[in-house]
Structure 1
Amino acid sequence: MNKRKITILIVLLVISFGPYYIYQNIIYKDARDIDNEKSMLTISAQNLESQYAQNSSQADSKYLNKTIEIEGTATEVTDSSMVIDGKVFCKMNKKSNQNFIKKQVNIKGRCIGYDDLFGVVKLDQCSTQQN
């Protein structure tokens, strides 16, 4: 009778903590810290956009969900976003400084794909990099 109670207790523990373990270690993962990740490459905004315009699926395989650094001139700046060379839309982590307009900038962020409607490549979790 004791062995049976221990076996039942073990089965109940596995049933109780199994979903928690799966949720914590497989489903839920800590968010990436793009600021502290090393960028896989540095590319000009025009070059990145032209690769996406020519072959979106091939460019996705190279850049999608990767940390990259974009070089170019800031053409539009708002509190939470920046557009580089009119080709790359960057969603910034921190409030953007209006002093970046028409200046050469390096932006590091995670590539989230190409927006066919607006014809721009989109990055999120972006931050400005020091030259």
Structure 2
Amino acid sequence: MSKKVKIIFVSLIVIALVGLLGYNYVMHGGERNLTTEKTDFTVTSANITAEFTKDIEVSNKKYLEKAVAITGTITSVNATEVIIDNTIICNLKKLDSSTKKGQTATVKGRIVGYDDLMGELKLDQCFIIINN
């Protein structure tokens, strides 16, 4: 093998390795473990919804990407999400089979945004920490 072919071969391997590591970081490296992470804020669904309705920019700076525990009444349950007080949509990692519509619950998750058109606050990586 000539020196030029070896350099091209090694370069391709390095590029492929960097691409694979980059892909892995983007797709899997950013997920946090909220079960062990400290809760930044503990609020009721009414209070946090009122804050976002009043001033989205200030609320985004305060809450976006933070671990938040929100207490409210479950108004809808399906396999992948729980909706609290018709305004807070929590995408769950795993649904607890005892979770029922009408229960008061505290859900911990990461705030990913507020949809001002629909009036909905969206959380991901959620789990129920208190289910009454």
Shorter-chain TM band: 0.7 to 0.9
CA contact (8 A) 1:77 1:97 kept: no
Q: Deviations over 1:14-58 (max 9, x none)?
A: xx879x68x95x996564312221211110011111111110010
2:6 — aligned with what? Answer: none
**Gap regions ≥5 residues in structure 2:** 1-9
Contact 1:77 1:98 in 2 (8 A): no
SS at match of 1:42: strand
| Deviation, structure 1 residue 125 | 0.6
Partner of 2:73: 73
- String of CA shifts for 1:38-88, please: whole Å, max 9, x gaps: 211110011111111110010000000011000011011111111111121
SS of 2:102's partner is coil
Report the CA distance shift for 1:28/1:70 in structure 2 as closer, same or farther (over 3 A): same
For structure 1, which runs of at least 5 residues remain unmatched after alignment?
1-12
Residue matched to 1:113: 113
C-alpha RMSD of the superposition: 2.8
CA distance in 1, matches of 2:51, 2:45: 10
2:94 equivalent in structure 1: 94
Identity score, percent: 28
Deviation of the 1:107 alpha carbon? 0.3
Give the letter aligned to residue 63 of structure 1: Y
How many equivalent pairs are there? 126
In structure 2, C-alpha distance between the alignment counterparts of 1:28 and 1:90, rounded to whole Å: 25
Q: Which protein has the bigger helix share?
A: 1
